Structure 1
Amino acid sequence: MRSTELGELAAFISIVQQGNFRRAATSLNIKPSTLSHSMRALEERLGIRLLNRTTRKLSLTEAGQVLFDQVAPALGNIENAVETLNRFRTTPAGTVRSICRAFIVAQAESFSTTLSRYQTGDCCGKPLYRYCWWCRPSCLGQLLL
């Protein structure tokens, strides 16, 4: 299974659980039009309609209900397995982004203490916890952990 197929199935599950495209898109942090295209691609790939949709109502087709009943628990199990793995992580990982420099500057001491413990790289030749936006404003406070 390709990652796009898994993403399409996750989008389908979110649409059904949220009850509409807009809420599902918000929960997935994507645009509703992107979600709609993903759903259309899934239906075309499977060759079957999964959702009956109008401007006011969204409902599952019989095939959609069968797919939802089988895929929702499986995706839930995958999410639980990944979350279980996070317990083995000894340090935080990810990207810290802020477009509000005033907040970061106000919290500088706290950020500096925390980031100095977990520093894994640099930006602009300076350690990440030294706030790369001082030397390059386009960074907008992006810090990689």
Structure 2
Amino acid sequence: MFDYPVVLTPDGDSVLVTFPDIPEAITFGADTEDALQQAVDALETALSFYIDNRQPLPAPSPATGHPTVRPSGLESAKLGLYQAMTERGMRKAELARRLGWDVPQVDRLFDLTHTSGFDQIEAAARALDLRVEVNVSPREQIQNAS
């Protein structure tokens, strides 16, 4: 759902990572593997700017041969909830009312640096008439990414 393509560009002794769909996300790595690991943090940081500014999340474009990067599982769940809430035009105050929470609790739910409990994610999903699905699958191997 949140698999964003990245462009890897050799830059001297490092690899530059840029995201065509998220110009705010830029990072470097010592090699391809390190660059892709650093890219996750850059992606999560940039997407948190969208949440902080109450903007819709950018949709990932097709990979077209580029490697992709996705946020961690917990952050992906938070992003999915945020996206559903914004698509419905719902404000945080309404979600807080539905959950019986204070607004700062909802703010923490959408804070990508805060480790929310999975029970909180599921409660928010239920309040949005959604369910959370977990899928564990083999990790994709990056080929010809350098």
Q: TM-score range by the shorter chain?
A: under 0.3
Q: TM-score, normalised by structure 1?
A: 0.23
Which is higher, the Rg of structure 1 or of structure 2? 1
Q: Which has the higher contact order (CA 8 A, sep 6+)?
A: 2
